[in-house]
Structure 1
Amino acid sequence: MNTNRNIVRQVRDIQARADHLINTSAGLTEIEQFSDYNKELKSFLIKTIKDDFIFNYIKEIPELEISESETKKGFFYVILYFIFGSLGLLAAETKQINDSLDTIRDIKGKYASVELLLSNNFD
């Protein structure tokens, strides 16, 4: 029973973190940390949850992939800097953040559904 409450608490926690990222001007570092947390929690839930319906739903939670290979990113940023200066770099980072926030909204919605399913399953 205590384990069940901890699982639901973690699912609520990731939703709160998603809200924070969505409602503040989050940077790439915070988004990368959220991505890592999402991967860890999803992996934990897949190993822990035995109900087939919930298990399959958890597998549908998207991964948040924001990092490109450092070589590609570095080369891309050098080109942007030479063509557009620092505004080009800022625009590229802003686009990456905005794209990530769309996925974070989706992840948050999936975890809200998982929380409901788990709460009904654990009662």
Structure 2
Amino acid sequence: MALDRKVAFIQQLQIVLLAHGCYVSSSSSMLLIVCRRKVIISEDGAMKASPSALRRIVADNVRRLRRDLALSQEDLAGLAQLHRTYVGAIERAERNLSLDNIERLALALKVEPASLLSSAGR
């Protein structure tokens, strides 16, 4: 991705994250993102973090776009150079994606990375 596309992506990412109540700070060499998450205590006393709203949006968008292209999770994983079980975990909102993996999925799904983070795409 060219530098100006990366800058544009980071700016779009900041807007989306701010809309979801996250604190975002950036400099020329660093991007800091802090989001608060709810912790749920299950009946057996185990603590488990609930998926953030943004992670749920990404999960729904990846699943929808994958199905629109008639791809299996395994097909998408191959195109994005990710493990098939990782793609399944993304679609269940169990994984916290890196920017690199958001970019890989977007390329495989033939969309802009920011569209995976947007609830408008639903």
Q: Which has the higher strand share?
A: 2
Same fold (TM over 0.5): no
The structure whose Rg is larger is 1
Give TM-score scaled by structure 2 length.
Answer: 0.32
Q: Which has the higher helix share?
A: 1
